[in-house]
Chains A and B, each alone.
Chain A
Amino acid sequence: NAGVMQNPRHLVRRRGQEARLRCSPMKGHSHVYWYRQLPEEGLKFMVYLQKENIIDESGMPKERFSAEFPKEGPSILRIQQVVRGDSAAYFCASSPLPAGSGANVLTFGAGSRLTVL
């Protein structure tokens, strides 16, 4: 039973290009969370998705960032026209139910490290 799979692990983009980060949740998990870790900072919530729905995107910048979790396939975090400040590690996590309900924990992927030149 594979864990949460994220790819690519490392991505280098030039300013103005697009970055696409993919996350396949654990089998049986329909709730996906994206977090960003900026250098010297902790994990910051970006967006919470269920299959085909964005539940909470309160942590995601209004411009250039979007996320989806289609019925088939992985969840994708898309950053358009990247800038140097987007350089960070992006972590995906999944759970079988909402993270705050009962004893549900998040299972994290290994992260995708984006470097913008």
Chain B
Amino acid sequence: ILNVEQSPQSLHVQEGDSTNFTCSFPSSNFYALHWYRWETAKSPEALFVMTLNGDEKKKGRISATLNTKEGYSYLYIKGSQPEDSATYLCAFAGGGGNKLTFGTGTQLKVEL
């Protein structure tokens, strides 16, 4: 059984705050690490895919880093806005790379 863990489970921040979450995953047989954003009543949407140790990806105010040797990835949000409120999921592809194992997510709420 693959363990993909995310912390914190939930987070409340004020508008304008910067924040970050952690995803930890097995450090062996690594293929890829995905980040998805899941708004209430919608479908998960892909943010980033990272495949190489040291990868850094950026999309607007959101960025992510990857450390495959120690098995963790960070997602950063700079200057949080209310529209950033969502659950952020990471997903690990290992072994044969056939499937993604999801973490339970970090639920972010950005308040005015």
Contacts and interface: CB of A to CB of B under 8 A. Distances in A.
A and B, one complex?
yes
Interface of A: 4, 33, 35, 41-45, 48, 55-56, 59, 91, 93, 98-111
- Using C-beta atoms within 8 Å of the partner chain, give the interface range for chain B: 20 to 34
A105 B97 contact: no
A91 B93 CA distance: 18
B51 interface: yes
A33 B45 contact: no
Contacts of A91: 43-44
Nearest to A44: B102
Contact of B43 (A59, A100, A105, A110): A110
Given A103-B51, A105-B34, A105-B49, A48 B99 contact: yes
B104 interface: yes
A41 B87 CA distance: 12
A36 to B, nearest CB: 11
Contacts of B102: 35, 42-45
Nearest to A41: B104
A49 B93 CA distance: 16
**Centre residue among B51, B97, B103, B105 by max chain A CB count within 10 A:** B97
29 contacts: A33-B99, A33-B100, A43-B44, A43-B102, A44-B102, A45-B99, A45-B101, A45-B102, A48-B98, A56-B98, A56-B99, A91-B44, A98-B97, A99-B32, A99-B93, A99-B97, A99-B98, A99-B99, A100-B32, A100-B94, A100-B97, A101-B32, A102-B32, A106-B34, A106-B36, A106-B91, A107-B46, A108-B44, A108-B45
Contact of A101 (B31, B43, B103): B31
